[in-house]
Amino acid sequence: MKSKEDLARFLSEAGISADFLTWSGLFLSFGSAALVGFGLFFAAGAALLLSGLCDLLDGAVARASGKADAAGGILDSTLDRYGDGAVLGALVLRAAYFQDLRTAALALAALIGSFAISYVRARAECEVESCRVGFWERGERLVYLSLGLLFNNLFVVLAVMAVGVQWTAWQRLSYARLLARGGGRVPDNAKPYRGRNSALYAFKAGTLVVVALFFRL
């Protein structure tokens, strides 16, 4: 199987630009939102996964083509917010239409927390060098929501996300405040970002997948 970098190089050589992938990811998110509205959850989950694939590859394609710049990153981050809002917003509206207020509330909490995660990082990095901490980054949110759609287990998945995204947002807020008070120096009591290669990350991700697939309320 080709690595992400190999695939990105192939796409770049085929004339696929990073911006094309970024916009494709947005349109796929909108398509997923429309499918949610019609109750076609499996198709919505598949479209959302494809959107995530575009989001995974656009930066790599930009680097492979030698065209990576701040403008592309700004476009990517902005369109990601539109995509997130469309899918979670569609879930809020559908649940409210069918008077499933519990699911609507959970989807709304997941939406607000998802935006808070992104905002805290963006605002913090105006003052400090980096604020990338916490588990629930966009890739994790997107894949987990896709699992809920694909396996028709939205209530459990949204419940997990509704709590998890708030926790990550507050982790980032606390971490950023510690850094700001330390003049940008990482304090001794601030936990470093371990990334997606740590054993703890694998344990968390595996546990959450099991919950999404097998735990139902």
Q: Which residues are catalytic?
A: 80
Provide the residue count of the chain: 217
d(CA 116, CA 134): 13
- Rounded to 5°, the CA angle 124-128-130 comes to 80
Contact at 8 Å (CB) between 128 and 178? no
